[in-house]
Amino acid sequence: MDELWIACGGVRQIPLFSHDFLGLLSNIQPTFTHRFLAEWEARGKIVCVMTQNIDGLHQRAGSRNVYPVHGDYETAHCRACDREFTLNDYCSDVMNDKVPYCSCGGVVKPDVVFFGEPVRHLEAAAREAASCDFYLVLGSSLLVHPAAGLPLYAGRDVWIINKGEVPLRPGWRRTDADLDGFFQAVAACLK
């Protein structure tokens, strides 16, 4: 039995978080900031996006080189045979409070990092950080590790744009701002 899908009393149930999150996911859209970053990537100004978010909004906005270190719900895999599923393949089961199963009988688990599982893409994200000319940290408290350590690999300048306090290192810059408002102002200046 897969411990990730077991509730109290040993009854197999879909985690409430996945059910609730997928219900919200269908109602949210990429923000101005997501679209701005995707446009900058298309213009060759951004090499990649490293995100702790599991919502897939960067990809939906058009970003192609994304490192979702906590995974996302866009895909899932069978825990028994490793067959890949898309969100469309398994979402209806989750939304109908059913555990999704593969044809082999294995449980289909979303490709999100649950508590106690290792993060993904960390080595590739650290390599990208080390080779960058400029590293932006957007909307992060820099408190969730190990992803919070990625700016430490930055080969050059680090600029943090976040609403609220964050731990700073010498030489790092910080702007206390709402991301959409900040990037709307940047976009206006670039016109």
Q: Which residues are catalytic?
A: 70
- Residue holding tokens 């999100």? 112
Measure CA of the first residue to CA of the last residue in the chain; give whole Å.
57
- Residue holding tokens 């101005």? 32
For 56, left (φ over 0), alpha (ψ -120 to 50), or beta?
Answer: left
CA–CA separation, 52 and 80 (whole Å): 26
Work out the angle at residue 54's Cα, subtended by the Cα atoms of residues 51 and 56, and round it to the nearest 5 degrees: 85
CA–CA separation, 166 and 85 (whole Å): 37
Contact status, residue 132 vs residue 139, Cβ threshold 8 Å: no
